[in-house]
Amino acid sequence: EVQLVESGGGLVQRGGSLRLSCAASRFTFSSHWMHWVRQSPGKGLVWVSRITSDGSSTKYADSVKGRFTISRDNAKNTLFLQMNSLRAEDTAVYYCARERLGAAADAFDIWGQGTMVTVSS
């Protein structure tokens, strides 16, 4: 079964750092653009970041730019999100998601189960 499994979430103090991982299985990871999407408790989905298939290009939402870094290791089929200078408003479930191989700006067809990040003040 095609799968994404996130890990690395937890409780961290304001100003601290955390590194999320997303392990991909049963598909050609190196062919797909990948994304991080977050959801604060009781709120909607918010796009966070994306990385191209070869890792050469990244983009970020304004709310995390300069603090978060997306990266990938295609040899290990793993996506990462390094989160620094964490704020209370970064508290959320973080999902990794695969972008379809199709049109430009295509849909996210595979999602992980999510990992919870809680930033305490």
Partner 1 sequence: QSVLTQPPSVSGAPGQRVTISCTGSSSNIGAGYDVHWYQQLPGTAPKLLIYINTNRPSGVPDRFSGSKSGTSASLAITGLQAEDEADYYCQSYDTSLSGSRVFGGGTKLTVL
For residues 75 and 103, which CB has a smaller minimum distance to partner 1 in the complex?
103
Query: How far is 21 from 65, CA to CA, in rounded Å?
Result: 19
Closest distance of CB 65 from partner 1, Å: 7
CB of 41 to partner 1, least distance (A): 12
The residue written with tokens 């918010």 in the block is 46
- Give the x-and-dash track for 26-45 against partner 1 (CB under 8 A): ---------x-x------xx
Give the shortest CB-13-to-partner 1 separation in angstroms: 27
Q: Is the distance from CB of 73 to CB of 55 less than 8 angstroms?
A: no
HSE, CB side, 13 Å, CA atoms: give it for residue 119. 18
CA pair distance 45, 5, nearest whole angstrom: 18
CA distance 16 to 109: 32
List the interface residues with partner 1, window 82-111 (CB under 8 A): 95, 97, 100, 102-109, 111
Q: Which of 46, 52, 84, 118 binds partner 1 (CB under 8 A)?
A: 46
SS3 31: helix
Is 5 one of the binding residues for partner 1 (CB under 8 A)? no
| Three-state DSSP state, 34 | strand
Q: What residue ranges bind partner 1 (CB under 8 A)?
A: 35, 37, 44-47, 49-50, 59-62, 65, 95, 97, 100, 102-109, 111-114
